[in-house]
């Protein structure tokens, strides 16, 4: 079996941590047990480009139990948990191509390795597999049944492909399932981003001004959790409805130029580029902390920061202190501007990834069963799957809910009954 990881000797630690995550992933466990019996993915080659974490290990193991031939590479150079990569290779016999801290060249070599000579389903977090296939590996397209996509940024890229009529196979937008973005993006990113900032810096959140850029589901989560820890949260946005929501949720909303002057900690979650740029760094307070929790490391203009600085040093693990030439002020950049929740912490907790990855597993099964009837479009996860996952999750949490009575069903279906 071919693989490329940092250190196979880390497998023991990785295996224990994978078992810990598995405990908190009851829905994926249930799917895995059914997959073991039914083998719906028998003979299907699945290339996964996901963050290599304990939770991802539980997912790929479930896919393998369903009969799939799975290969895994990282969806970010700095998010790989090397002990998990080692255990997947040693204990679960899954080929992994990922090393924490890999450079861009190796990152793409690993993408080529999981694609190999033939693939039926691709599973992306950020659309790097799909984009590589469209740009460089069109020879693979004839065998591809479709792809699944985990994250908002990936969906934006795929919809742009679809819009330009260049999409070559169907895609299931896992991110857009309610049981994904309402929980993973909000509560997962909310907690794990604050966790990453705190693990990297050990700062006290209470009393700090935290500037959250972007008020999508991820931004909402971070704003909510930072406020819960006593921070004064300022939101920056470009979209009027979201800005209004942030105002009515009780946050200050300011343009970045105004926020830059007062922030102690900045977090970007916009999916866009250059959200924190040269003019903003200039205005920041000495010692400001800057982090990104969006998918790509383009939200903070790091090349500009480099140019403006006379020197930089790692002051703590995951914290690079830049010294500005003109003012002698310091700006602290976390996790090289990559996803702070995965670069400086462990990503979202297993209990929330359980729903995201249940969607991934069932979306892969759906693609395989329905591939002949699907067009070259971006599809939503079928509502039936979303509802099924929410019901199982509630059950695993011991939460019971009411059912509509026949009388209520009839009432909801009627238009005649009024005042």
Q: Could you tell me which residues come within 8 angstroms of residue 93 by beta carbon, excluding any fewer than 6 positions away?
A: 1
Q: How far is the CB of 54 from ligand ADE (least distance, A)?
A: 7
User: Which residue lies nearer to ligand ADE by CB, 54 or 213?
Assistant: 54
Q: Does residue number 353 form part of the binding site for ligand ADE (CB under 6 A)?
A: yes
| Residue closest to ligand ADE (Cβ) | 347
Q: Does residue number 293 form part of the binding site for ligand ADE (CB under 6 A)?
A: no
Helix, strand, coil percentages (3-state) for the chain, rounded to 5, are: 50, 15, 35
Q: How far is the CB of 315 from ligand ADE (least distance, A)?
A: 26
Q: How far is the CB of 256 from ligand ADE (least distance, A)?
A: 25
Helix (H, G, I), strand (E, B) or coil at 326: coil
Yes or no: say if 194 and 226 are a contact pair by the CB < 8 Å rule: yes
Look up residue 185 and give its two tokens.
């993006």
Q: How far is the CB of 150 from ligand ADE (least distance, A)?
A: 7
Distance CA 327, CA 190 (A): 33
Yes or no: say if 72 and 63 are a contact pair by the CB < 8 Å rule: no
Using the rule CB under 6 A, give the single segment among 115-123, 205-213, 346-354, 368-376 that binds ligand ADE: 346-354
What does the DSSP assignment read for 128-149?
HHHHHHHHH-GGGGGG--EEEE
Distance CA 205, CA 226 (A): 7
Angle among Cα 23, 392, 387 to the nearest 5 degrees reads 140
What does the DSSP assignment read for 24-90?
T-HHHHHHHHHHHHH-TTTT-EEEEE---SHHHHHHHHHHHHTT-EEEEE-SSTT---HHHHHHHHH
User: Which residue lies nearer to ligand ADE by CB, 292 or 309?
Assistant: 292
Angle among Cα 158, 115, 135 to the nearest 5 degrees reads 45
User: Which residue lies nearer to ligand ADE by CB, 223 or 234?
Assistant: 223
How far, CA to CA in Å, does 6 sit from each of 3, 85, 89, 97, 227? 10, 8, 11, 9, 38
Distance CA 188, CA 64 (A): 26
Quick one: which of 347, 365, 378, 392 contacts ligand ADE (CB under 6 A)? 347
Q: Does residue number 124 form part of the binding site for ligand ADE (CB under 6 A)?
A: no
Q: How far is the CB of 368 from ligand ADE (least distance, A)?
A: 22
Size of the site for ligand ADE (CB under 6 A): 8
Q: Could you tell me which residues come within 8 angstroms of residue 409 by beta carbon, excluding any fewer than 6 positions away?
A: none
User: Which residue lies nearer to ligand ADE by CB, 274 or 396?
Assistant: 396
Q: How far is the CB of 347 from ligand ADE (least distance, A)?
A: 3
CB count, 10 Å around CB of 137? 17
Q: Does residue number 14 form part of the binding site for ligand ADE (CB under 6 A)?
A: no
Q: How far is the CB of 365 from ligand ADE (least distance, A)?
A: 19
Look up residue 222 and give its two tokens.
């971070």
User: Which residue lies nearer to ligand ADE by CB, 10 or 58?
Assistant: 58
Q: Does residue number 149 form part of the binding site for ligand ADE (CB under 6 A)?
A: no
Q: How far is the CB of 76 from ligand ADE (least distance, A)?
A: 9
Instruction: Of 113, 59, 118, give the one whose Cα is nearest residue 348.
Output: 59
Q: How far is the CB of 198 from ligand ADE (least distance, A)?
A: 16
Instruction: Of 377, 347, 355, 1, give the one whose Cα is nearest residue 163.
Output: 377
Using the rule CB under 6 A, give the single segment among 64-72, 245-253, 256-264, 347-355 that binds ligand ADE: 347-355
The interface mask with ligand ADE, positions 304-343, x = CB under 6 A, is ----------------------------------------
User: Which residue lies nearer to ligand ADE by CB, 50 or 246?
Assistant: 50
Distance CA 321, CA 278 (A): 16
Q: How far is the CB of 152 from ligand ADE (least distance, A)?
A: 12
User: Which residue lies nearer to ligand ADE by CB, 57 or 288?
Assistant: 57
User: Which residue lies nearer to ligand ADE by CB, 183 or 251?
Assistant: 183
Q: What is the bridge-based pairing of β-strands 330-334 and 319-324?
A: antiparallel
User: Which residue lies nearer to ligand ADE by CB, 56 or 65?
Assistant: 56
The interface mask with ligand ADE, positions 43-82, x = CB under 6 A, is -------xx-x-xx--------------------------
Q: How far is the CB of 301 from ligand ADE (least distance, A)?
A: 24
Distance CA 85, CA 61 (A): 12
Binding site for ligand ADE (CB under 6 A): 50-51, 53, 55-56, 347-348, 353
């Amino acid at each position: 079996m071919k693989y490329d990881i940092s250190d196979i000797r880390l497998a023991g630690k990785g295996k224990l941590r994978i078992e810990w995550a598995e405990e908190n992933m009851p829905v994926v466990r249930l799917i895995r047990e059914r997959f073991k019996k039914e083998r719906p993915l028998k003979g299907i080659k699945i290339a996964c480009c996901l963050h290599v974490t304990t939770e991802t290990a539980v997912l790929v193991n479930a896919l393998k139990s369903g009969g799939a031939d799975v290969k895994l590479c990282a969806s970010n150079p700095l998010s790989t948990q090397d002990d998990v990569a080692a255990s997947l290779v040693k204990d679960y016999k899954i080929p992994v191509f990922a090393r924490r801290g890999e450079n861009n060249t190796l990152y793409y070599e690993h993408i080529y390795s999981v694609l190999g000579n033939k693939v039926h389903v691709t599973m992306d977090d950020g659309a790097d597999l799909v984009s590589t296939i469209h740009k460089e590996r069109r020879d693979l397209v004839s065998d591809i049944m479709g792809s699944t996509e985990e994250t908002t940024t990936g969906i934006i890229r795929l919809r742009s492909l679809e819009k330009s009529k260049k999409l070559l196979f169907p895609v299931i937008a896992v991110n857009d399932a309610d049981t994904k973005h309402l929980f993973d993006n909000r509560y997962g990113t909310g907690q794990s981003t604050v966790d990453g900032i705190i693990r990297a810096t050990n700062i006290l959140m209470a009393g700090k001004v935290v500037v959250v850029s972007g008020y999508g589901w991820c931004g909402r989560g971070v704003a909510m959790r930072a406020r819960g820890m006593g921070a004064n949260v300022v939101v920056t946005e470009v979209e009027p409805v979201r800005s209004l929501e942030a105002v009515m949720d009780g946050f200050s909303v300011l343009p970045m130029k105004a926020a830059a002057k007062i922030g102690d900690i900045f977090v970007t979650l916009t999916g866009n580029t250059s959200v924190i740029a040269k003019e903003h760094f200039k205005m920041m307070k000495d010692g400001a902390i800057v982090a990104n929790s969006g998918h790509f490391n383009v939200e903070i203009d790091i090349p500009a920061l480099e140019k403006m600085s006379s020197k930089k040093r790692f002051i703590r693990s995951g914290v690079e202190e830049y010294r500005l030439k003109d003012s002698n002020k310091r700006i602290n950049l976390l996790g090289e501007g990559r996803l702070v929740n995965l670069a400086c912490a462990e990503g979202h907790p297993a209990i929330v990834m359980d729903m995201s990855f249940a969607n991934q597993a069932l979306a892969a099964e759906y693609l395989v069963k329905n591939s002949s009837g699907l067009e070259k479009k971006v599809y939503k996860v079928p509502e039936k799957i979303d509802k099924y996952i929410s019901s199982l999750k509630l059950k695993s949490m011991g939460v019971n809910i009411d059912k509509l009575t026949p009388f209520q069903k009839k009432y909801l279906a009627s238009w005649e009954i009024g005042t």
